[in-house]
């Protein structure tokens, strides 16, 4: 994903945020098993770590904004992109940001919503791009719809794509499904919002 964004002329910083500790050799399998457990303790732990991940996102945005001259970045075009739990980090940052760590645009792809479900869209202007698949195996599609509705209610700029098929984690996978084209829609959205130059 970073390489694809670089090809569009976008400088990328990758955030390694805090996550729930998982056991075994397959962290993804461990994470997916947590979602299937109906345990108050499990969800409490995930919410606590999600809060810390959101703080990591805020600190990262603060770092990039405060070092923008050093990296020759346009301070009006600093954004966030996250997938799944990373989308939750994006939403957490949007809902909590101050001048020093606010993004100018955001994208949350098949996002989850830890610690953000009852939040309102931010008062500062920040366009958002959302994409998900109806057959998301974690059932997260409604999060994108709810987020879109919050942005529209707040008279904020928002674009939402819900694909019939694609599952969870489609990212740059080629599955010969309509969800394969989300990057084309995202690129058009970036151009529409003048994040990258129009052709």
Which CATH number belongs to the domain containing residue 78 in this structure?
A: 3.40.50.1820
* Structural domain range at position 55: 41-192
In a domain, 127, yes or no: yes
Burial of 158 (0-12, 13-18, 19+ CB in 10 A): buried
Query: Is 23 part of any domain?
Result: no
pLDDT over 90 for what percent of the chain? 73
Mean of the per-residue pLDDT values for the chain?
A: 89
Listed in sequence order, the residues at least 6 apart from 164 whose beta carbon sits closer than 8 Å to its beta carbon are 133, 134, 135, 177, 178
Q: How many domains does the chain have?
A: 1
Assess if residue 199 is contained within a domain: no
pLDDT confidence bin for 97, thresholds 50/70/90: very high
Mean pLDDT of 167-187: 95
| CB neighbour list of residue 130: distance below 8 Å, 6 or more residues apart | 107, 108, 109, 111, 144, 147, 148, 158, 159, 160, 161
The total of other beta-carbon atoms located within 10 Å of residue 134's CB is 12
> Pick from 128, 185, 186, 188: which is nearest to 152 by CA?
128
Distance (Å) of CA 98 to CA 33, 95, 103, 110, 160: 35, 9, 9, 25, 25
Q: Is the pLDDT of residue 149 over 70?
A: yes
- pLDDT value at position 74? 96
The arithmetic mean of pLDDT across residues 109-130, rounded, is 88
CA distance 104 to 106: 7
Is position 197 within any domain?
A: no
- 89 found inside a domain: yes
18 lies in some domain:
no
Q: Which two tokens stand for residue 24?
A: 């075994």
pTM of full prediction above 0.75 = yes
The arithmetic mean of pLDDT across residues 64-82, rounded, is 97
Q: How far is residue 11 CA from its own chain's centroid?
A: 17
User: Is residue 32 situated within a structural domain?
Assistant: no
H-only helix segments in the chain:
2-7, 27-36, 40-66, 85-96, 141-153, 182-192
Question: Using one digit for the tens of pLDDT, what is the confidence trace for 15-64?
Answer: 998 887 666 676 656 655 655 555 666 656 667 778 888 999 999 999 99
**Residue 162 belongs to a domain:** yes
């Amino acid at each position: 994903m970073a390489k694809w964004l670089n090809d569009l002329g976008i400088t990328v910083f990758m955030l390694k945020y805090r996550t729930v500790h998982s056991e075994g050799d397959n962290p993804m399998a461990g994470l997916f098993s947590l979602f299937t457990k109906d345990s108050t303790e499990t969800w409490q732990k995930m919410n606590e770590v999600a809060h810390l991940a959101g703080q990591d996102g805020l600190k990262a945005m603060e770092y990039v904004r405060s070092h923008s001259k050093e990296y020759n970045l346009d301070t009006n075009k600093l954004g966030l992109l996250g997938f799944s739990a990373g989308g939750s980090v994006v939403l957490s940052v949007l809902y909590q940001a101050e001048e020093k760590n606010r993004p100018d645009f955001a994208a949350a792809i098949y996002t989850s919503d830890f610690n953000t479900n009852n939040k309102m869209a931010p008062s500062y202007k920040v366009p958002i791009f959302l994409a998900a698949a109806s057959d998301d195996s974690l059932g997260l599609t409604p999060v994108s719809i709810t987020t879109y509705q919050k942005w529209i209610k707040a008279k904020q700029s928002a674009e939402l794509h819900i694909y019939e098929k694609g599952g969870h984690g489609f990212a740059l996978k080629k599955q010969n499904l309509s969800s394969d084209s989300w990057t084309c829609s995202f690129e058009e959205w970036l151009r529409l919002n003048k994040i990258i130059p129009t052709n």
